[in-house]
Amino acid sequence: MIKVAFFDSKEYDIASFLKYEKSHDLSFKFLETRLTEDTVELARGYDAVCVFVNDTVNKAVIHKLCDFGVKVIALRCAGYNNVDLEEAHGRIRVVHVPAYSPYAVAEHAMALLLTSIRRIHKAYIRTRDFNFSLNGLTGFDLHGKTVGVIGTGKIGRIFMDICRGFGMNIVAYDKFPAKDSGINYVELNELFEKSDIISLHCPLTEETYHVIDEASIKKMKKGVVILNTSRGALIDAEALLDGIRDRKVGAACLDVYEEEADIFYEDRSGHILNDELLSRLISMPNVIVTSHQAFLTEEALNNIADTTVKNLISCFEEKGTCVNEL
C-alpha cells in the first residue's frame, strides 16, 4: 500500500481524491497545514507527499523528505516554481499535473474581463439594494479590440479562441512560438504598445519574473486592461498600483498575487489584512481579485485527482516510468 500525505488540503481536494483511495492500493492522510521546513516532520512514515502551489519544497525540505524515506513529491498542479528541482534530481522523484482543464483557466480569464469592463460586479451589488441606476456602469465593446496574449500554451491558445469568438484582434508573444499555428506573434514591446487588453498565460521563470513592471507599463496604451490567471510574480504589484493611480492602467483582473501564499485559500474576513499592497489593490474600484480559483471546476478537480493518482502508481510500479515526471 502506498501511503501519501497531502499538504494544504481543502474540502474539494478530499472529495475528489477519496474515491481513488478505495479503488487503488493507496492510503491518504489529508493535512490542512502547508508543507514547510517547520511542518515537514508530518511527512515521516509516508511513501509520498502531495503538495500544491503554496507549499514550500526547498532544499531543506527535500533533505528532510529524503531522510524520512519519502520517494515521490506529487504536485497536484501544473506549476512547479515552488520546488527546488535541482536539489531533488537523482534523490527524490517529482511529478506534476501538466494539464487539468485549460478551459477552466481560460474561461475564468474571460469571465474576469467581462465582469470588469461591463461592471457586472457593481451592478450585482446595486440591484441587491434595489438600485437600478445605470450611472457609472458604462463599459466598452470587446469586438475590434486588440488583445495581447503572453504565453501560447494550451491555456493561452484556448483564451485566444474565446477572444476570436468576440471578434477581437490577437497578437501574442512566446519565447518558443508554436510552429504552423497561424498565431500572430510579435515582440513584447510591440505587444505592449498595441494591446487594449493584455492577458498572461506563461509560466514563472527568471525571464518572465515581473514581465509586467514599471518600464513595460509605460509602453502600454492608456486605459489598458491587464489580466493575470497564471502566476502572481509575473506582475510587479507596486508598479501595477502606480499604473492604476496614474490612470495609465484602466483595470486589472488578478486571480493570483505575488505574496498570496499566506493569504489566499483562507477566510480572512474577520482579520486585519497585513498585506498593505494587496489591501490597496483591492480597494481600487477598477481592480478585481479572485483567490487563485481559475482552476476550480468539477472537471479540473477530477482531472487533477485522476492524473495525480496515475502519477503515483506509475512511480511505484516495477518499471517506475512516469510521463509527467519533471
For the record, the C-alpha cell of 219 comes out as 509602453
Please report where in the chains the cell 511542518 appears, as a residue.
39
CATH code reported for the domain at 2-100+297-316: 3.40.50.720
Residue 17's contacts (CB-CB under 8 Å, 6 or more residues apart) are: 6, 28, 30, 305, 308, 309
Q: What is the pLDDT along the chain (326 residues), one digit of tens a residue?
A: 899 999 999 999 999 999 887 778 899 999 999 999 999 999 999 999 999 988 999 999 999 999 999 999 999 998 888 999 999 999 999 999 988 888 999 999 999 999 999 999 999 999 999 999 999 999 999 999 999 999 999 999 999 999 999 999 999 999 999 988 999 999 999 999 999 999 999 989 999 999 999 999 999 999 999 999 999 999 999 999 999 999 999 999 999 999 998 889 888 888 888 899 999 999 999 999 999 999 999 999 999 999 999 999 999 886 678 999 99
The candidate with the shortest Cα–Cα distance to 100, out of 83, 84, 77, 118, is: 77
Catalytic residues: 231, 260, 292
* 232 Rama sector, left if φ>0, alpha if ψ -120 to 50, beta otherwise: alpha
Rounded to 5 degrees, φ, ψ at 165 are: -65, -25
Going across the sheet that includes 169-173, the strands are 169-173, 146-150, 197-200, 224-228, 249-254, 287-289
User: How far apart are the C-alpha atoms of 149 and 67, rounded to whole Å?
Assistant: 43
Domain 2-100+297-316 and domain 102-289 have a common topology: yes
In the DSSP assignment, the letter for residue 43 is: G
Residue among 162, 126, 168 at smallest CA distance from 145: 168
Q: Which H or E element spans position 49?
A: strand 48-51
Domain ranges, ordered by start, for the chain: 2-100+297-316, 102-289
**pTM reported for the whole predicted model:** 0.87
DSSP secondary structure string, 273-298?
Answer: -S-HHHHHHHHSTTEEE--S-TT-SH
Q: Is residue 321 packed enough to be buried (19+ CB in 10 Å), middle (13-18) or exposed (0-12)?
A: exposed
- Chain-centre distance for alpha carbon 118: 24
- Right CATH number for 102-289 from 3.40.50.720, 3.40.50.1240, 3.20.20.210, 3.90.1170.50? 3.40.50.720
Residue 130 φ/ψ region, left for φ over 0, alpha for ψ in the -120 to 50 degree band, beta for the rest:
left
Give the Cα separation of 110 and 90 in Å (integer): 41
DSSP code of residue 246: T
